[in-house]
Each structure stands twice: as structure tokens, then as C-alpha cells.
Amino acid sequence: MQSTSEHATPPGPRREVLRSCLIGAAVGDALGLPYEGLSARRIRRWRQGRLRHRFLLGHGLVSDDTDHHVFVAQALLASRGNVDEFRRELVRRLRLWLICLPAGIGSATLRGLLRAWLGLRRSGVRSAGNGPSMRSALLGCVFAADAAARRAHVAASTSITHIDPRAFAGALAIAEIAARLAGGAWTQRPSADELAVLLRSVSDEAQWQASVALLHCCCDAPQPAEALCAEPALRDGVGGYVLHSVPFAIAAWYQGYGDYAATLEICVRAGGDVDTNAAMAGALAALVVGVDGIPRDWREGLRDWPHGLPCLEALARDLAAPAAARAAGFTPALLPRNLLFLGVVLVHGLRRLLPPY
């Protein structure tokens, strides 16, 4: 399909677009993280009041979803448009990240990175997980004006860990929506028909096409995400299977269009792979409303390091003016940070042994 968004974002707004994508994804990741793996039923019994940060003493920490977005940004700065160099730089950072003991890494991503450590060029495994999708919104923003480069970079990013065509379709779908929002093609919510045409163009894979058909029907309903979650496989949580996770994240963005907080509420209520679903939907929602459209306490409550708000702001600044930027290296500080993170995860795990069930 001929894209309607193939025109460059002006230099001034470009930084704001990149900030919105990175911070919107990170805030969604942090807000969804405490509910990761819980069923929709358990979340309904557990939650009280307005959605807020609750991972560490009222503050939010980020998971692998934000780490991967950071590594994509760093690899883009280091490769300067060369897709083969981008893949090499991203592989290098993901390999180092693996030895920093990240908690909650997906099995396909783990196997793919272990294969990368063995030096295999074809490191990806045949899995239809949502790992590549969680790191693809930024590629849509950076290459909003270049469909060929966008597709090539999404393919390179995906192939590091996943070679299933469904994983690529989901990752490209998120990038394509992000590109239209970043490029200014969608200044208001697209019709369900227009969204479906775009998503069908992503891949001819039969199961992907069936998922798009279902999403199309749901987007015609008053509450698209709830309509999608009425499907038997999604009733008590939206897991990491890409044909569940990506359509749901898109439906949540579509239903909450123009309201970042409402979009995140939809993601949390659904249960399942909440942090990744909220990161994907949060990136798209923030591209609509901007950073200022994210509730202030949610932004200020994100207190992570080294991949916290200062890091994301610096990456947005550098990606907006890459000629004057210096690519950041991998920081070994992730190892002690991840050990602390793992301890907090274990405390949350123990808490989940207690009622309400």
C-alpha cells in the first residue's frame, strides 16, 4: 500500500515525537510491571483506586521492554542508517545485556541471544512471541519518512531473536502505526477500515490476516479492546503470543485514542503480559497526546537508573540530531541494577502468594 505518511517530520517536532515514543513506552512498562502475569480476575480483586506506580515504594522501575528500546536507540545512533551495522550493534548490546542477568526475559529471546553468543548469524528462533514488537515503535518514528528503511530495520531487529513470520508481522504493525502518527498522517483516529487496510498490508501470512479481520470487527465496536478480550483465548489475560498481544495493544490504543491514562487502564485491566502490552500501547498513545499528555505523577514516579528518564531524554535529543551526537556505549551498571530488580521481583512473587486470590 502506498503510505500517506512518507514525508519528514520537521526538525523541531522530531525530538518531541521521539520523547513521546520513548517515555510513553517506558511509563506504560513501569505501570504494567507490578501486574505482569496476573489474570484479569486477580487484578480486579487486587487493585484499588487510581492506577499508580507500585513496584518499589511507590516508584516505577522498567523491564526489558524499555531496555530494548534503549538498545535500539543506541544501535541507531551507532549505525547511522546502515542496516547491517544496526543489526551488529543491537546484537552486541543484547548479548551484553544477557550477562547482566535481566529478570523476566522471554524464552525465545533467551534462546536467540544464547545462539548469538555462539556467533550464529541466524540467531533467531522460530517463535511467535512479542519480543520484537516491544522494541519496534521507535523504528517507526525514526524512519517515518522511509518505508523501505523502516521495514529493513524492523526485519533486522526481529531476526536477532525471532524468525517466525508472525513475529515480524506484529513488530512491523507497531512500527507502521507509529510511523503514521510520527509523520503526521493520522492527526485524528483513523477509521476501522483505514487501520485494517494498513495492517493487512504488513504481511500475507494467513494467521496474521485472520487476526487483522478479528481486530477490524472489534474496532467497529464501541469498546474495541473489551470486544477483543471477549474472545475465549483472551478472557483472563492477554499473553505474549504476538497474534494476541499486538492486536490487543492496538485495540487499547484505538479505544483510548487521545487519552493516555485510559489506554493504560485498559491494558492493566486485561491482565497477562501487562508490561509489554502497556509499553506498546503506551508508545502509540503518547505519540497522539505528547509527553505532556502523560499524567505528571506517572512521569515523575519513574525513578529507574541507568535507563530512566534522563537516559530517555538524552536519546531523544541525540536521535533528533544524530549528526551532532555520539553513540552511547553499553553501561555495566545494569548488572547491579538488575540484581536489585531481581530482589524486588522476588518480593512481588511472595506477595502474590497471599490473598486476595
C-alpha cell at 347: 518480593
Domain-located, residue 52: no
**DSSP sequence for 290-356:** -GGGS-HHHHHTB--SSSSHHHHHHHHHHHHSGGG--PPPPPTTHHHHHHHHHHHHHHHHHHTTSSP
- Count helices and strands (H / E) in the chain: 18, 0
Which tens digit of pLDDT belongs to each residue from 299-318?
Answer: 999 999 999 999 999 999 99
Query: So what's the pLDDT on residue 7?
Result: 34
Query: So what's the pLDDT on residue 328?
Result: 84
Cβ neighbours of residue 98 closer than 8 Å, sequence gap 6 or more: 105, 110, 113, 114, 117
Q: Please, are residues 277 and 252 in contact by the beta-carbon 8 Å criterion? A: yes
Query: So what's the pLDDT on residue 72?
Result: 98
Domain-located, residue 3: no
Query: So what's the pLDDT on residue 327?
Result: 78
Q: Extract the residue ranges of the chain whose pLDDT is less than 50.
A: 1-11
Query: So what's the pLDDT on residue 326?
Result: 84
Domain-located, residue 305: yes
Domain-located, residue 57: no
CATH number at residue 303: 1.10.4080.10
Number of CB atoms found within 10 A of residue 288's CB: 21
Domain-located, residue 54: no
Q: How much is the pTM?
A: 0.95
Q: Please, are residues 255 and 266 in contact by the beta-carbon 8 Å criterion? A: yes
Residue-range definition of the domain harbouring residue 136: 11-47+63-351
Domain-located, residue 271: yes
Domain-located, residue 171: yes
C-alpha cell at 273: 503480559
Q: Please, are residues 135 and 69 in contact by the beta-carbon 8 Å criterion? A: yes
Query: So what's the pLDDT on residue 113?
Result: 97
Identity of the amino acid at 20:
S
Which tens digit of pLDDT belongs to each residue from 181-232?
Answer: 999 999 999 999 999 999 999 999 999 999 999 999 999 999 999 999 999 9
Half-sphere exposure of 15 (CA within 13 A, CB side): 10
CB-based burial of residue 9 (10 Å sphere; 0-12 exposed, 13-18 middle, 19+ buried)?
buried
Domain-located, residue 6: no
Q: What is the number of domains present in the chain?
A: 1
Identity of the amino acid at 283:
A
Query: So what's the pLDDT on residue 3?
Result: 33
